[in-house]
Structure 1
Amino acid sequence: MFFDSFGLMGTLGLVALIVIVIRLNTRLKLVERELGALRSRVISTPPAAAAPPVAEEQAPAAVIERIGEPAADGEVAAVEQDAGESAEPAGPWGTVKGRDAPAEAAPAAAVRPAAAKADIETALGTRWAVWVGGIALALGGVFLIRYSIEAGIFGPGVRLTMAALLGLALAGAGEFIRRTGFEIPLNGGNNAYIPGILTAAGAFTLFGAVYAAHGVYGFIGPALAFVLMGIIGVGAIAAALLHGQALAGFGLLGSLVTPLLVASEAPNAWALFGYLAIVLVAATAIARLRDWRLLAGAAFAGTGLWCQVHMAGSDTVDFTVVLFINFVILLSLALIWLGWRYGGEEAPVAFDWPTAIPALSVALAALSLLINADHQAAGGALYGAVLIAAMVAVALYRPGALALLHAAGAASVAAYARAALTGSFAFDFAGGSLVIEGFPATPFSALMPYVGTAIGALFLAAGLWSARNFAASAPVRGAHWAGWAALAPLAILAAVWIIYGNPDRDYSLAIVALLLGAILTAGGEMIAKAENPPLTGGLSVSFALAGACVAFVLMLHMAFGPGLTTVLVGAAAALPALATRQRSYPVLGWLCVGAAIVVMARVAVDPTIVGADALGKKPLFNALLPGYGIPALAFGFAAWQLALTTAGRPRLVMEAAAALFSLLTIAMLVRHAMHGGVIDASDPTLAEQAIYTLLALGAGAILIALDMRSPSPVLRYGSIAAGCVSAILIVSNHFLILNPLFTDESTGRLPFFNLLLLAYLLPAIAAGALALYARGKRPRWYPAMLALVGAALAFAYATLSARRLFKGEFIGFWSGLGQFETYSYSALWLAMGVGLLIAGVWQKSYILRIASGALIAIAVAKVFLFDMSELEGVLRALSFIGLGAVLIGIGLFYQRLLTRAAGTDEPAKAQ
């Protein structure tokens, strides 16, 4: 036991003394306000026989510019009168004129010039000299003690006595100067507060003497040292209340530096942190009374830094000492800094930065205990869990300590994430299972799963309970709790599964994940019923339900493996959509989107769904059909259901996902059948590229449809980008790189259902349909571009199909041209030109008519330039006769059109 009965009585007396001083200070502040108000009212009341106003030019020209020159009589009289009337001690918290009194209550200030500035002499003489002198006094006392130790001039008792007398003398000198009227205003500036500096130097020296008496020489035991340092700390508090923030800051600095200047060869951790505990309590108390945030933050930071230095620099860390000082930090935060700040009717501020410093300090200590191998071997994980629990408890007790919640949650997640990512790892989807290699069997102690279970349960219970309590009064604060209620248990569960579980199948952890998802779902419903108005589905409900969905996904993966998980998660996307029939929570639609994203990510990692070895070669009826088809059906159902209930952006996303997976289902089945069961061949093929082109064209149509229902710049420019990408793919791959005319790739054995159908005719139809659908919905150049691309694809299909009739399965250009084949191209191109002309007139499409003219021009050039030299006999004659007939027919056709157009215009002109 650290404290004996005498130490325990001293501790209780110290706490009681702090409380008494705080209460008396509160009453003193009330009396100060009332006295100041009365003085202001008396001074502002004009006397019965007021003196005639003094002309501006007769007023004193300036207050004294240098030290030593006499001040104006009116100023001295006013200051003396105020000092005599005030019953308060002079100091920064008094109401001496020129410091805290209102401007209308200080007539002496009216005669002072507004632009009076202190010169360099005044600054050096009244401020810097005093500050430097006070620091020199404090350091001089400490160095005197150190020198006497090294030189052996005096014995330890004499040295400590002299140090204590020096400290008392400095403090007494400061109090004497304060009581005897230390301050004479010079140039209206803020002069150095000499009593405060002297008192700070005295406190600094006394701290060093007591600590040396216990930690270095052992003259006094830990209990007496604790009581003496507590008395000095409380004395510093009382003095700071009189002398201002300078004393508090200087005293804190000296208190934190003292253990470094007066070191011990055999340091005592309990003495060090007992001393630091006294300093922290005293500093936070005075910081709270005067609302000095900088002082509070510095006190917490200094104590936390000492804790980190001790944990990093000690060979054997005493965990009870670490626990003690961190408990003192948390209690000082909860009972002192936040105790009176939020104890009354004052509402907590949104962010209290001094609270973030102890939160970070304690979280670092807990994290070190949880992840350090040496600390774990000694059982430090349990102490780390206790610190996490203490942080959560204080955050529950004080709403203003929300930073503790985030720090505790971050430390917990970081500790287990670091454990899960220890060692090298690799993923292997062979055989449809997830294999993780490179992890050590037990990278951390066997206690980690049980500690993680306790931490996760704590966050789950405290988070849901707090989120429910704050659901109506402070929903944003409740959302913080709900978020950690979901995130911390999920992260710990996933880490435990990776480290200790079976990555392929782990039914015990799957049951835990199922239970966690059920609790989060029930908690979300409980929070929703406590909202105002109820069942709104705010952020807290969203976090709880999102966490439940993640837990269910983990459960599916743990129980069924990656292949079946893909199908089940895709099917589960319909469940949140069905839930919108009973609850209109905004998060439900986005949970459907989240399921779609999980399936897309899974497909991107392994397009075979179950692994290449387990996929098989059977066309159509294989894992690809349910792996892509079931999610497509579920996404479509979710989109339909959301359209009936909540609608919004999630419905649009699910429609797009349904369309995408529908196309993917067809594309993957076609590729599987065409490649003999292989869908991830490394060599690109025209069939594969054709599927990609069809998907891009389909995506462009889907985005246009979505944009027409719910206009969005993203959908608008996305649809245009999809069409442009399709055109680029067609020109680069279909016409040039992968063209079977250049690659001599097999076009298939069937006459019609072959590669040319998939790579040219279907994309031509898709491009033409998209061009028709985009007319009036997109810029004119966009459907025109797609129409030209479609016409070019149709031209290529017809030409290559004609060559296939003559050459068979392989149509490489190096096999040459025959007489009938050459003639057939001319006839075919002329027929296609006429067909495009008729389609252009029917659709009133200028682009199609121009395309027909270009195609006929190509045919004419071929007849005159190529057929004339290559064809012989009747084929040459038929080529020219056919060309002439077609051209004459086109001429007659255009004349009929122009005559009809002129006939329709004449009645209009006659009118």
Structure 2
Amino acid sequence: MLDSLIGLAVIVALFVILSRQRKRLDRVERELAALRGLVLSGVPATGAATASAKTKETELASAQPDAEPETLHEVADAAVAEQAGAPVPGPWAKVPAMATAVSTETTPPAQAETERQETPAQSAAPTPKARDIETALGTRWAVWVGGLALALGGLFLVRYTIEAGVFGPEVRLAMAAVLGLVLVGGGEFIRRTGFKMPVEGAASAYIPAILTAAGAFVLFGTIYAAHAVYGFIGPTAAFLLLGAVAIGTIALALVHGQALAGIGLLGALATPLLIDTQSRNDWALFGYLAIVLAAAGFVARIRAWTFLMTAAFVGIGLWTLLYVGQAPDPDYRILTFAGLVTLAVLAFAWLGRAQTGQGGFDLPSTAPGLFIGLSVLALFYAPALAGTPAMWTGVLLIAAMLAVALYRQPALALVHAAGATAVLVFLGVVPFVAFYPDFGGDFFIPGQGMEPLFDGAVIDGGIMLRLGAVLCVLFLAAGLWSARRLAAAVPAWAATWAGWAVAVPLVVVLTLWVTYGNIDHDYFYAAIAALLVIVFVAGSEWIARAEQPPLAGGSAVCLALIGAGLAALLFLHMAFGSGLTTVLAAAAVVVPAVATRKRSWPVLGWLSVGAAVAVLARVAFDPTIVGADALSRTPVFNWLLPGYGIPALAFAASAWQLARTTAGRPRLAMEAAAALFALLLLAMLVRHAMHGGVIDDGALTLAEQAIYTLITLGFAAILVSIDMRSPSSVLRYGSLAIGVLSVASIAGSHFLWLNPLFTDESTGSIPVFNLLFLAYLLPAIAAGLLALYVRDKRPKWYSAMLALTAALLAFVYATLSVRRFFKGEYIGLWSGLGQVETYSYSALWLLLGVVVLAIGVRLGSQVLRIASAALIAAAVLKVFLFDMSELEGVLRALSFIGLGAVLIGIGLFYQKLLTSAARRSGEPAT
């Protein structure tokens, strides 16, 4: 042991001697470099450097009579070295201006010109890579390994003396303590003797800090061994000594660097784990942790060490969680104390270095927000902590986080932490069995005021109402005031405050209503929601007046108005039944649209869109508006009429108003919503009437589908008409989409799946006005009229598609009508074909081809003319392929005679048509 101490003392002494001799070696090297520079520049070297240095030293001595001779000599040497082009070593390398000033006064003009002509290659020679490896090995790695070796050597020395029985335990521990103190003292001594980094980039190998860290490790091990191994000191003394070493290490970090502070912090946080005590004192533990946190906070503030501060916050946060999880009977007051101390250190120690209202986002403040938020959740829901006093202290911690965020603007993370914690607290109030009663059985009894939560905890509704009221007031006051204060300077941060000022009250009111209120009608919570609407609207105006420019409608204003819209929807649902809620929510879309007359904020239009989406979701949830049991069976005049009609009118009025103020996409969205609800109104009324007043999921019939088809075709025509008077991309593309969907529905339903030829559905007993008339002739007329109306108003393919659909519908109607004439009410395909019926189809198709040709020529429609050609071609194929084999006698002859007569007539007609066209153009007919 004695040999080791002597060896260590010799090493330290040699290091000090070498550091003092370094100056002499540096001076010799500078003189040699100056002489070499003079030789390379062509100036006679004999005595030149010495004479120049003596001259400069004399000049400096006359200018500064109080300066020390050694200092004057170093400055003179630096000036000579700079004059010769050599690098300026030593402490004067950082102040080349002094040497340059002296050099400028005494340098001969010829020599100065020679220096200016020095090649750049000589002054910018790259450092070889071998030197980099050598530097790393010699200056960094050797120091790190050496420091670790010293620390481990001290610990191993203590262990060896124990195993070998050398000296007594008291002497061994004393020698180990002396070794630790010597290392700490040696590091401080080397630092005070003017130790500086020999090379650039070796800051992490700062020898005084590494010696101090090694000494701290040895002292930690010595004190722990004195307590845990030998029992020389009790737990209290060991606790105090280890804490003193740790805090002292953190304090020494002010002069030795952040790494040493980290070591001290780690040791301080680990100290309570190293001490085994039978008498548990949690207050002493957290008092000690508070001192450690405060010390780390002030050190981090002085040096602006972000990592150290973050690590300290994380450390005390982990201790708090460990206490909640491991303590047999945790005390809520200790959690409150830990949280308040953490916030105090954050506000007054760490963030005290920055003035309020300045600086960016503070990253270390996220750690206190996270761990204090977890502590608050434990105060509410941990079985060992939950209770009325703990809940109020949880609200106190949330309020403290808001207060620190108000006092220190960079601590914005605390706003998010406080808001998220409040939201999670009240979301936890809603019982699982409230939404899934099948799993709860008799465990959940609504309306009792005492509702069960998970883990068997029970929270009184009155307590939660009071806690929620306090939180709502806190977030509204702090959020809206901060949003107004920051609206002009930092709009994004203003939006953060406004967002939580909106979110927390809405979540509190919603969860309390769902858990403790009447889900159908609750005027108490409806009154609270109405009050929130007023507060949010007034707050948005208040914030907007502080913006730059005023009333700009920034993000904070938008969030406040969105909150007002959500609160309004809650109010309607709480105060009124399902039917009135749908109608009134739809009528409410007009309010923000009308408000655009006073404030041209785009968010107002989007509020209308949001209300429309809410109404659509409400209708999708319950298409009957008031419930299937409450819906009247009276056709037309039932809840479907106002439930779909009023939204359609309100959306149209909102679109009309927005078109005259803000316009933009909200106006187009409201136009689309109005059109959609108008279509839904007609469709739902038809379905209601077709199913005897019952809106169910019964099978769709052809008659019902036919009415839907007529509605959609008519609605497409209405959209085109409105678009012609008030152009809108929504109306234009909406009319195209509805037309395409109508044609697709006709092709799938009318021609295939619901066709009575395939389903054998009854076509009715009335000869003309039957199912075929409704499902084919009327849609054919509607599609034809729409095709005629949209010519030159929509793309050519659109009108051609509608015209072709109309022709096909007319063809199918005529064909099925012939079959109904022969078969009666049921026309299923499997009932067979007669010869007269077969011949009738040929004659009918030829006749239809001629009629369609005439209409196509009259209207100038190429699509109809092609359709007529297709009909005639189908008739020709039928005659040659089917009639020839199936018909007999006179019917076969009449089939071919009729076909030939029609074809010849069509030929004559086309010849006459071409001749007339040639005469009009003045060209010979071909």
TM range (shorter): 0.7 to 0.9
| Match in the other structure for 1:114 | 127
Asked if 1:469 corresponds to 2:469, the answer is no
* Alignment match of 1:385 (pick from 374, 385, 395): 395
* In structure 1, distance between residues paired with 2:844 and 2:672: 40
Offset of residue 873 of structure 1? 7.6
| Match in the other structure for 2:604 | 588
Amino acid corresponding to residue 495 of structure 1 in structure 2 = T
For residues 100-131 of structure 1, give each alpha carbon's deviation from its aligned partner in whole angstroms, at most 9, with x where no partner exists.
94898999x97985335556676455434543
Over 3 Å counting, the alpha-carbon distance change for 1:424 and 1:445 in structure 2 is closer
| Match in the other structure for 1:375 | 385
| Match in the other structure for 2:20 | none
**Which segment drifts farther, 146-155 or 164-173?**
146-155
Amino acid corresponding to residue 853 of structure 2 in structure 1 = L
| Match in the other structure for 1:257 | 270
* Alignment match of 1:527 (pick from 510, 523, 543): 543
| Match in the other structure for 2:595 | 579
| Match in the other structure for 1:542 | 558
Asked if 1:365 corresponds to 2:375, the answer is yes
DSSP 3-state at the match of 1:445? strand
| Match in the other structure for 1:348 | 359
* In structure 2, distance between residues paired with 1:265 and 1:212: 18
Offset of residue 906 of structure 1? 2.3
For residues 126-155 of structure 1, give each alpha carbon's deviation from its aligned partner in whole angstroms, at most 9, with x where no partner exists.
434543554566678899999999999999
* Alignment match of 1:178 (pick from 175, 191, 196): 191
* In structure 2, distance between residues paired with 1:79 and 1:616: 109
| Match in the other structure for 1:606 | 622
DSSP 3-state at the match of 1:622? coil
Offset of residue 827 of structure 1? 4.1
Over 3 Å counting, the alpha-carbon distance change for 1:247 and 1:727 in structure 2 is same
For residues 517-560 of structure 1, give each alpha carbon's deviation from its aligned partner in whole angstroms, at most 9, with x where no partner exists.
12111211222222233222221221111111111111111122
* In structure 2, distance between residues paired with 1:83 and 1:833: 117
Asked if 1:832 corresponds to 2:848, the answer is yes
1:199-238 pair list within 5 angstroms:
199-203=212-216, 235-236=248-249, 238=251
DSSP 3-state at the match of 2:638? coil
**Which segment drifts farther, 290-299 or 679-688?**
679-688
Asked if 1:645 corresponds to 2:661, the answer is yes
Question: Which structure carries more relative contact order (alpha carbon 8 Å, separation 6+)?
Answer: 1
| Match in the other structure for 1:6 | none
Offset of residue 356 of structure 1? 2.2
| Bigger Rg, structure 1 or 2 | 2
What is the number of residues matched between the two proteins?
822
* In structure 2, distance between residues paired with 1:211 and 1:476: 51
Amino acid corresponding to residue 479 of structure 1 in structure 2 = A
| Match in the other structure for 1:671 | 687
| Match in the other structure for 1:400 | 410
Amino acid corresponding to residue 590 of structure 1 in structure 2 = W
For residues 311-363 of structure 1, give each alpha carbon's deviation from its aligned partner in whole angstroms, at most 9, with x where no partner exists.
2222322222211222222222222332222448xx422x3332323222222
Amino acid corresponding to residue 413 of structure 1 in structure 2 = V
For residues 726-775 of structure 1, give each alpha carbon's deviation from its aligned partner in whole angstroms, at most 9, with x where no partner exists.
54443333322222211122345666665445544455456556656776
For the aligned residues, what is the CA RMSD? Answer: 4.7
Offset of residue 598 of structure 1? 0.7
| Match in the other structure for 1:847 | 863
Offset of residue 661 of structure 1? 0.6
| Match in the other structure for 1:566 | 582
Percent identity, aligned pairs only, is 59
* In structure 1, distance between residues paired with 2:351 and 2:136: 38
For residues 599-657 of structure 1, give each alpha carbon's deviation from its aligned partner in whole angstroms, at most 9, with x where no partner exists.
11111122111222222322111221111111111111111111111111011011111
* Alignment match of 1:686 (pick from 697, 702, 724): 702
Over 3 Å counting, the alpha-carbon distance change for 1:155 and 1:726 in structure 2 is farther
For residues 139-194 of structure 1, give each alpha carbon's deviation from its aligned partner in whole angstroms, at most 9, with x where no partner exists.
78899999999999999999998887665444322201212344562587556112
| Match in the other structure for 1:302 | 315
* Alignment match of 2:511 (pick from 492, 495, 505): 495
| 8 Å Cα contact 2:679-2:715 kept in structure 1 | no
Asked if 1:445 corresponds to 2:455, the answer is no
| 8 Å Cα contact 2:235-2:276 kept in structure 1 | no
**Which segment drifts farther, 383-392 or 371-380?**
371-380
* In structure 1, distance between residues paired with 2:365 and 2:765: 77
Asked if 1:277 corresponds to 2:287, the answer is no
* Alignment match of 1:799 (pick from 790, 812, 815): 815
DSSP 3-state at the match of 1:441? strand
| Match in the other structure for 2:613 | 597
For residues 203-253 of structure 1, give each alpha carbon's deviation from its aligned partner in whole angstroms, at most 9, with x where no partner exists.
56667889999999998999x999988876764454222212222222223
| 8 Å Cα contact 2:139-2:202 kept in structure 1 | no
* Alignment match of 1:899 (pick from 888, 912, 915): 915
Over 3 Å counting, the alpha-carbon distance change for 1:211 and 1:466 in structure 2 is farther
| Match in the other structure for 1:418 | 428
* In structure 2, distance between residues paired with 1:581 and 1:749: 59
Offset of residue 590 of structure 1? 0.7
* In structure 2, distance between residues paired with 1:150 and 1:770: 105
Offset of residue 662 of structure 1? 0.4
Over 3 Å counting, the alpha-carbon distance change for 1:899 and 1:506 in structure 2 is same
* In structure 2, distance between residues paired with 1:450 and 1:548: 22
| 8 Å Cα contact 1:426-1:437 kept in structure 2 | no
Amino acid corresponding to residue 205 of structure 2 in structure 1 = A
* In structure 1, distance between residues paired with 2:285 and 2:667: 63
**Which segment drifts farther, 534-543 or 701-710?**
701-710
Over 3 Å counting, the alpha-carbon distance change for 1:326 and 1:471 in structure 2 is same
TM-score normalized with structure 1 length: 0.78
Offset of residue 264 of structure 1? 3.7
Over 3 Å counting, the alpha-carbon distance change for 1:548 and 1:135 in structure 2 is farther
Offset of residue 480 of structure 1? 1.3
For residues 805-854 of structure 1, give each alpha carbon's deviation from its aligned partner in whole angstroms, at most 9, with x where no partner exists.
55454332233445665454344433432333234334433222211110
* In structure 1, distance between residues paired with 2:320 and 2:77: 50
| Match in the other structure for 1:44 | none
| 8 Å Cα contact 2:250-2:265 kept in structure 1 | no
| 8 Å Cα contact 1:167-1:205 kept in structure 2 | yes
| 8 Å Cα contact 2:658-2:667 kept in structure 1 | yes
DSSP 3-state at the match of 1:461? helix
**Which segment drifts farther, 753-762 or 256-265?**
753-762
Asked if 1:246 corresponds to 2:259, the answer is yes
| 8 Å Cα contact 2:242-2:268 kept in structure 1 | no
Over 3 Å counting, the alpha-carbon distance change for 1:694 and 1:123 in structure 2 is farther
**Which segment drifts farther, 617-626 or 169-178?**
169-178
* In structure 2, distance between residues paired with 1:611 and 1:808: 41
Over 3 Å counting, the alpha-carbon distance change for 1:357 and 1:816 in structure 2 is same
DSSP 3-state at the match of 1:612? coil
| Match in the other structure for 2:347 | 334
1:42-121 pair list within 5 angstroms:
53=37, 81=74, 101=94, 114-115=127-128, 117-118=130-131
| 8 Å Cα contact 2:703-2:775 kept in structure 1 | yes
Amino acid corresponding to residue 186 of structure 2 in structure 1 = A
| 8 Å Cα contact 1:215-1:267 kept in structure 2 | no
